Amino acid sequence: MSSTKRPLWLWPIIFIAFAFGALTIKSGGAVIFFDGPARVAAGNYLNFVVWFNFIAGFFYILAGLGFLLQKDWTAKLAIMIAVTTLLVFAAFGIHIFMDGAYEMRTVIAMTLRSVIWTSFATAAYFIAKRI
């Protein structure tokens, strides 16, 4: 990525990465660190999924910064986020397949995360390759 003027379509990616990261950290942190309403509302959550998403939130913000500053490493980071999200989603799927308890909203959330970060990784890749 170069330091040229940002294309207009890049701004929603930057905003979503920052906002999604902040919201992910807030919601995941509330479940992990506080024994209260957020944890109760989470229902049948899986620790590894919540921890992954919490940690990933920091990387979402870092990727948003990379998109904002148009850094070459952004493509690698976005690809890493997409791949690890898909791997965690697959592990979650195995948990479901083995009759593990889960919440449908986790399926929806992981689907959304997978689609968003696969799309962002694709965009970052093409920006980096200048295609």
Per residue, the 3-state secondary structure of the chain, as one string, reads CCCCCCCCCHHHHHHHHHHHHHHHHHHHHHHHHCCCHHHHHHCCCCHHHHHHHHHHHHHHHHHHHHHHHCCCHHHHHHHHHHHHHHHHHHHHHHHHHCCCCCCHHHHHHHHHHHHHHHHHHHHHHHHHHCC
10-63 pLDDT, tens digit per residue, is 899 999 999 999 999 999 999 999 888 889 988 889 999 999 999 999 999 999
Please give the average per-residue pLDDT across 103-113, as a whole number. 95
Predicted TM-score (pTM) of the model is 0.89
- pLDDT in the model for residue 4: 63
